[in-house]
Amino acid sequence: MNNKLYGKLIFELSHPGRRAYSLPKDEFGSHELPSAMRRAEDAALPECDEMTVVRHYTNLSENNFGVDNGFYPLGSCTMKYNPPINEEMAALSAFNNIHPLQPLSTVQGALQVEYDLQRALSALTGMADFTLNPCAGAHGELTGLMIIRSYHETRGDSRRNKVIIPDSAHGTNPASAAVCGCEVLEVKSTADGLVDFDDLKQIIADHPDDIAAMMMTNPNTLGLFERDIPAITKLVHDAGGLMYYDGANLNPMLGVARPADMGFDVMHLNLHKTFSTPHGGGGPGSGPVGVREGLEPFLPKPHVVKNGDKFDIEQPERTDSYTVENNHVGPFLGNFLVIVRALSYILSLGKENIKMVGPLSVLNANYIKESLKDDYELPIHGLCKHEFVFNGLKDKSTGVTTMDVAKRLLDYGYHAPTIYFPLLFHEAMMIEPTENESKETLDGFIEVMHNIAKEARENPEIVKGAPHTTPISRVDDVEAAKHPVLTFRQLAAE
């Protein structure tokens, strides 16, 4: 936008004495504060007229890139379409004007939403029951690991504190294990990106009595289906450990395969990814945890149950025990309005359509992968699931990096894929289109990615200098992280 007022801070638009409102004069008499209570100097607030304020914030909001204004192939984040019907449901005053301490007889409908979602998630995953209390994926992982430790401790097996995690796992997996007081044993990936079964066997042989669990993501972070799951689960179970499933990105499995049927004991889901709650910007999220039959007593309380045709809440016992089943893992019954959105999404798709989520997300990812593999290096060939990883441009002689490609995409109006993750390749570029995109949208992205590869060969400087059309061009990531300038005053003092 070629406008002098655009791209400025609200403070820079300030003029002394400008006001965006006017109160009726004299009608209420004078309301001057006693001078002893007044500040010596006026607060440094911007002084702007109303139109300037409206335009400033509207322009700012339009700088935000969201699923509703463009293609957003951010791998591992599942930036899927968030249907407005979910927002309408979450906006119902019967849902958002209630209080968690209201008498249960007055919130039966809200409890039914929780109960129905517990049942729907159980049906989709094969688990026996779910807690909806954890407020994020990582929070779900921690809760799941606490359930696993509690299970071992209840059996007098409290020595088990080792958690096996593949090197391709999401960073939250080892972090959650560490927070839970466990030690992480990393299992390597093979050249074709799957769990190295021989390495796993060795790890288990080296720790015969103290494996608490193995955490797995399937399809894994490279978008590959782990073929050896039956053998892996048998190995871990025989060693006395439980299998944990990171279901943050359940997309390709929805309606196709169920973690419980694969032998997993405990899992979490990200409602804010797979079940279409808007995310990014840090929340709100929800990371429900499911357990297979037999582990239900270890689910944390409070927990919604159905007695006859009434819904009730099982409360924690508040004993001195620190086991997870006797404690709150989060406030009340989780992020309720995210739970409402997830149920709305599941019910509006229905039993038949939800089965299409998996196949369509897999089709879309493979279509992009196959269309671009002549220009971008594909380190692992074969069918992927809902996402896949390129290792930068195929032609390494141009000097154009994955970062450059990501920045250049912004000039073309596309959000960048996830870059430099997973850590298995130096120039990783992780692409996840999700199931909702039309063929024309995918073709548009493919064309732009081809264009960028061509530019890299013919005019690399234009890619290396990108973005050229955004309000701010390339920022210094390191400087921004080490010396963030977060206030206007600080900026003025520079």
Ligand X SMILES: *Cc1c(COP(=O)(O)O)cnc(C)c1O
Among positions 60-79, residues that touch ligand X (CB under 6 A) are: 76
Question: Least distance to ligand X from the beta carbon of 270, Å?
Answer: 5
Sequence-ordered alpha helix ranges (H) in 267-386: 336-372
Q: How far apart are CA 414 and CA 348, in angstroms?
A: 28
Question: Least distance to ligand X from the beta carbon of 44, Å?
Answer: 36
Among positions 86-125, residues that touch ligand X (CB under 6 A) are: none
Q: Which residue lies nearer to ligand X by CB, 111 or 177? A: 177
- C-alpha closest to that of 212 among 153, 169, 298: 153
Strand, coil or helix: what is 251? helix
Question: Least distance to ligand X from the beta carbon of 136, Å?
Answer: 4
Among 134, 252, 259, 285, binds ligand X (CB under 6 A): 285
* Segment near ligand X (CB under 6 A); pick from 93-101, 245-253, 353-361, 404-412: 245-253
Q: How far apart are CA 286 and CA 490, in angstroms?
A: 36
- Please, which residues have CB within 8 angstroms of residue 467's CB and are 6 or more apart in sequence? 407, 408, 410, 411, 473, 474
* Segment near ligand X (CB under 6 A); pick from 198-206, 232-240, 246-254, 361-369: 246-254
Check if the beta carbon of residue 311 is closer than 8 Å to that of residue 304.
yes
By CB under 6 A, tell whether 168 contacts ligand X: no
Question: Least distance to ligand X from the beta carbon of 254, Å?
Answer: 15
Comparing every residue's Cβ against ligand X, the nearest one is 137
Number of amino acids touching ligand X (CB under 6 A): 13
| Sheet order of strands, 428-431 included | 388-391, 428-431, 418-419
Which own/partner contact pairs does 150-156 have at CB distance under 8 Å and 24+ positions apart?
A: 150/298, 150/323, 150/324, 150/325, 151/242, 151/295, 151/298, 152/212, 153/323, 154/298, 154/323
* Segment near ligand X (CB under 6 A); pick from 38-46, 242-250, 323-331, 387-395: 242-250
Among positions 355-414, residues that touch ligand X (CB under 6 A) are: none
Among 138, 267, 299, 304, binds ligand X (CB under 6 A): 138
Question: Least distance to ligand X from the beta carbon of 491, Å?
Answer: 31
- Please, which residues have CB within 8 angstroms of residue 212's CB and are 6 or more apart in sequence? 145, 148, 149, 152, 160, 161, 162, 163, 182, 241, 242
Among positions 251-280, residues that touch ligand X (CB under 6 A) are: 270
Give the dihedral sign, CA 243/185/432/81: positive
Q: Which residue lies nearer to ligand X by CB, 135 or 232? A: 135
Q: Which residue lies nearer to ligand X by CB, 273 or 301? A: 273
Structure tokens at 490: 């600080």
Structure tokens at 146: 């606490």
* Segment near ligand X (CB under 6 A); pick from 43-51, 136-144, 304-312, 457-465: 136-144
Check if the beta carbon of residue 167 is closer than 8 Å to that of residue 424.
yes
Interface pattern 170-189 for ligand X (x via CB under 6 A): x-x-----------------
Question: Least distance to ligand X from the beta carbon of 255, Å?
Answer: 19
Question: Least distance to ligand X from the beta carbon of 246, Å?
Answer: 5
Question: Least distance to ligand X from the beta carbon of 418, Å?
Answer: 9
By CB under 6 A, tell whether 248 contacts ligand X: yes
By CB under 6 A, tell whether 427 contacts ligand X: no
Check if the beta carbon of residue 431 is closer than 8 Å to that of residue 75.
yes
Among 67, 89, 121, 136, binds ligand X (CB under 6 A): 136
- Residue 424: CB atoms within 10 Å: 16
Q: Which residue lies nearer to ligand X by CB, 7 or 280? A: 280
Among 73, 134, 137, 433, binds ligand X (CB under 6 A): 137
Question: Least distance to ligand X from the beta carbon of 267, Å?
Answer: 11
Q: Which residue lies nearer to ligand X by CB, 75 or 455? A: 75
* Segment near ligand X (CB under 6 A); pick from 29-37, 135-143, 337-345, 348-356: 135-143
List Cα–Cα distances, 87 to 283, 337, 342, 435, in angstroms.
15, 9, 10, 20
Please tell me whether the peptide bond between 484 and the residue prior to it is cis, using omega within 30 degrees of 0: no
Structure tokens at 392: 């930068």
Q: Which residue lies nearer to ligand X by CB, 246 or 455? A: 246
Among positions 208-227, residues that touch ligand X (CB under 6 A) are: 217
Check if the beta carbon of residue 335 is closer than 8 Å to that of residue 286.
yes
DSSP calls for 394-429:
S-GGG---HHHHHHHHHHTT----EES-STTSTTEE
Q: Which residue lies nearer to ligand X by CB, 138 or 163? A: 138
Structure tokens at 70: 């463009």
> Number of helices (H) and strands (E), helices first, in the chain?
14, 12
By CB under 6 A, tell whether 249 contacts ligand X: yes
By CB under 6 A, tell whether 56 contacts ligand X: no
Both ends of the chain: CA-CA distance in Å? 28
By CB under 6 A, tell whether 246 contacts ligand X: yes
User: Which residues of the shown chain bind ligand X in the complex (CB under 6 A)?
Assistant: 76, 136-138, 170, 172, 217, 246, 248-249, 270, 285, 287
